[in-house]
Chains A and B, each alone.
Chain A
Amino acid sequence: MLIKTIFSGFGGQGVIMMGYLLATAGMIEGKNVTCLPSYGAEVRGGTANCTVVVSSEEIASPVASEPEYAVLMNNPSLIRFQNQVQSGGTVFLNSSLIEDRPIRGDLVIYEVPLNDLIKQLSENRGANVVMLGAFIKKSGLVTPETMIRVLKDTFSGKNPAVFKSNRSALMLGYEYLK
């Protein structure tokens, strides 16, 4: 098993955090993981992205030329990555912000209206973690229990309430996709 996922969105939408959380959860479940955040002279307002590899074997390259999954948080991300996803791959779309749809017919597409969903949360934020919940539901890469543990390790240090709101966000996304 070797699964590559690209997370992409505006700088500030939390895409690097999504990658970090998934890679950490994979690590805790005893898998080999790499997480390669994009770096470089990206334009402001452009895409930030992050490639995560989760594998039962040693990982040769942290770069994905044909990822199995793409998690896209804004329209520029869709334009940039829709043709890279491998045939039969899966795309998760933030349908609140992305108006276009992939022109390819060989992809599985899940639409998640993040802006509407986060209104159900007490703090009205955490869209990236909602999306992550939807992602782990359909990809099955890690269990929600592990992800909750990672959220706890990552966010409890500052304020326990931050962990709780992230847990709610995760489960909201997890339960949204049937």
Chain B
Amino acid sequence: MPKVLMRGNHVVGEAAIRAGCRYYFGYPITPQNEIPEYMSEKLPEAEGGVFIQAESEIASVHMVIGASMAGGRVMTSSSGPGISLKQEGISFLCALELPAVIVNMSRGGPGLGNIAPSQSDYFQATRGGGHGDYRTIVFGPNSCQELADLTYEGFNLADKYRTPVLVLGDGMLGQMMEPVELPQEIPLKKLPAKDWALTGAKGRASRFIRSLILDPIKEEEHNWKLMRKYEKITREEVRWETYFADDAKMMVIAFGIAARIAKGAIKRLREEGVKVGLLRPITLWPFPFKAIKEISKKVKHFFVFEMNMGQMLEDVKLGLEGNGEVHFYGRPGGVILTPLEIARVISSQYYQKRLG
């Protein structure tokens, strides 16, 4: 496949359609408006495609529940404030064990904040802003190529585990254009059959999909069932990558666009002989706790860089279990650092700790 130059938001739309997504429901918000724009043009052309601009974010996420119940591959997208509104629906998707892909091109917050790229929705994505005991798979892509691959993969994982998958991007990822090799389109006929979907009970026993389980014993059973599923995901779906980890004296830990900027910084620093490496979680939940624990056997100094006030920082500390010293550097509010600026901060920490 030749590469095409595409904007991140359009990449999400195209990857979704190629993964067999035929239903999109959303409500406009910057900086993700190009996702509904793309879907509004392409879905009506696709076989069985439905695009609806709902009256609100809450309505759109509940339309997602309906389409998913009926067996379709379905997506919604928004940015921070809109994702807050969708939390009720996400809790229901988890309870009902329904697959869906939810994209958050996050922006500066809290409140309405601004429309600049930020990573302030890490807690919301990985802890879940909705009610009840639940988890969602969360991807943190760092390029348009990963947006394509992980959105596509998100639909497969959502179906495999019958659970919603979140793609946590940011305003910059959504707006920037990069060359992308798009995934192969999967024909609708080849999508795995769903023996639980509500497709009309003619000739078979009725099926039920519901989240109201009044008997506490049965609700407990349902919770344990969900937990076993989340444990399986934690065992099998953790993804991360490292860069210059072998001889590093200090490890930078960053995700998404921040990891990409940090990588540029590390490249500069390596040229000056500063021994720093990078660990980049690709799944933010399940988080690569084991990888961090493993690295902490060799490395004692960690530098967490995020475009927020320190959210993934908590997961890093959980992973380290007290092994190693953690320094945090964050830029909230939508400020984008250059690789040179972050390189200066990393190197000052490195020399303060007398590592070089």
Chain A residues in the interface with B (C-beta under 8 A):
20, 23-24, 27, 32-37, 39-41, 58-63, 65
Contacts and interface: CB of A to CB of B under 8 A. Distances in A.
Interface stretch (B170-178, B216-224, B295-303): B170-178
Given A34-B177, A39-B31, A65 B115 contact: no
Given A33-B178, A39-B115, A62 B5 contact: no
Nearest to A39: B175
B338 interface: yes
A20 B261 contact: no
Contacts of A27: 3, 5, 179
B265 interface: yes
A24 B30 contact: no
A34 B265 CA distance: 18
Given A37-B177, A60-B261, 15 more contacts: A20-B5, A27-B5, A27-B179, A35-B176, A35-B178, A36-B175, A37-B7, A37-B176, A39-B175, A59-B264, A60-B264, A60-B267, A62-B172, A63-B172, A65-B338
7 contacts: A20-B5, A23-B5, A27-B5, A37-B175, A37-B177, A60-B267, A62-B176
B336 A35 contact: no
B30 A36 contact: no
A36 B177 contact: yes
B264 A36 contact: no
Contacts of B175: 36-37, 39
A33 B31 contact: no
Contacts of A23: 5, 177
A34 B267 contact: no
B239 interface: no
B30 A39 contact: yes
B260 interface: yes
A63 B336 CA distance: 8
Contact of B177 (A35, A40, A65): A35
B260 A60 contact: yes
Q: Can you list the 5 inter-chain pairs with the closest CB atoms, starting with the nearest?
A: A60-B264, A35-B177, A27-B179, A36-B176, A60-B339
B263 interface: yes
B261 A61 contact: yes
A169 to B, nearest CB: 21
A130 to B, nearest CB: 22
Contacts of B30: 39-40
A60 B339 CA distance: 7
A85 to B, nearest CB: 15
Contact of B178 (A34, A60, A63): A34
Interface string B99-133: 00000000000000001100000000000000000
B260 A61 contact: yes
A32 B260 CA distance: 14
Nearest to B339: A60
B115 A41 contact: yes
Interface string B1-39: 001010100000000000000000000001100000000
Given A23-B5, A35-B177, A36-B176, A60 B31 contact: no
B143 to A, nearest CB: 9
Contacts of B116: 40
A24 B336 contact: no
A61 B178 contact: no
Question: Which residue, of A34, A40, A58, A62, has the highest number of chain B Cβ atoms within 10 A?
Answer: A62
B181 to A, nearest CB: 11
A37 to B, nearest CB: 6
A103 B30 CA distance: 36
A119 B177 CA distance: 33
Contacts of A24: 5
Interface string B259-278: 01101110100000000000
A60 B263 contact: yes
A57 to B, nearest CB: 8
Nearest to B180: A27
B225 to A, nearest CB: 43
A27 B31 CA distance: 25
A73 B340 CA distance: 29
A37 B3 CA distance: 20
Contacts of A37: 7, 175-177
Contact of B264 (A20, A32, A35, A61): A61
A156 B30 CA distance: 32
Contacts of B171: 39
A87 to B, nearest CB: 15
B176 A40 contact: no
A123 B285 CA distance: 56
Nearest to B261: A61
Interface string B171-209: 110011111000000000000000000000000000000
Nearest to B34: A39
Contacts of B264: 59-61
B339 A61 contact: yes
